[in-house]
Amino acid sequence: MTDAKTDAVENVEAAIEELMAETGADEGVEEQSGEDELTALRAERDEMKDRFMRALADAENARKRGERDRREAENYGGSKLARDMLPVYDNMKRALDASKEAGEADKALLEGVELTMRALLGIFDKHGIRLLAPEIGDAFDPEVHEAMFEAPVPGTKAGDIIQVMAEGFMLHDRLLRPAQVGVSSTPA
């Protein structure tokens, strides 16, 4: 009896294989799974390529940002020191203005102060610090001037600078200190 059952099972298996061969069902399953695998691999490749391109763009942006930060640190890193040096300039200018009435005995001291002032301005220039020296009669510009007071002055029009109290300074393209000025309030 066992032989009969074995023969029957073998016959059924042979019939299934023969049927599958005739219909191509076996090959279609293998072919279909191969196409699905190829499609999945292509999708994975495209995703990896996209991730790589994004990582490359992020790296380039980080490089550019680092370069910009380095340039800004180089140009503006000393702005606090420069701001602290401005009162030294102001005091030296006051000393030079006051010493115009000095006698012969103070001439050597005056010459030393003038040389020190030139050296200070040379250092300012070397480091990109420019003097903003408005003239009386110039138009008031709130971007670079600070109005300390307004007063009606005959012969001027509103918004004209009537007095310069302190010069301003620029560090490259940034305002370090605005020029402190008096402004005319005389109506036009």
| CATH for the stretch 77-184 | 2.30.22.10
Q: What pLDDT does 13 receive?
A: 74
Higher pLDDT, 19 or 166: 166
Per-residue pLDDT, averaged over 98-124, amounts to: 82
Question: Judging by DSSP bridges, how do beta strands 161-166 and 179-184 pair with one another?
Answer: antiparallel
The identity of residue 33, as a single letter, is S
Q: What pLDDT does 117 receive?
A: 92
State the Cα–Cα distance between residues 75 and 104, nearest whole angstrom: 43
The whole-chain average pLDDT of the chain stands at 85
Residue pLDDT, tens place only, 71-97: 888 888 888 888 888 999 998 888 888
State the Cα–Cα distance between residues 160 and 182, nearest whole angstrom: 9
| pLDDT > 60? residue 25 | no
Per-residue pLDDT, averaged over 103-107, amounts to: 70
Q: What pLDDT does 153 receive?
A: 87
164's enclosing H/E stretch is: strand 161-166
State the Cα–Cα distance between residues 102 and 116, nearest whole angstrom: 18
Residue pLDDT, tens place only, 35-60: 888 899 999 999 999 999 999 999 99
Residue pLDDT, tens place only, 125-164: 998 999 999 999 999 999 999 999 999 988 888 889 999 9
Per-residue pLDDT, averaged over 100-122, amounts to: 82
Q: Give 12's pLDDT tier (boundaries 50, 70, 90).
A: low
Q: Give 23's pLDDT tier (boundaries 50, 70, 90).
A: low
For 162, the token pair is 């009537």
CA neighbor of 114 nearest in space, from 101, 134, 99: 99
State the Cα–Cα distance between residues 144 and 131, nearest whole angstrom: 11
pTM of structure: 0.61
Q: What pLDDT does 113 receive?
A: 87
Q: What pLDDT does 32 receive?
A: 63
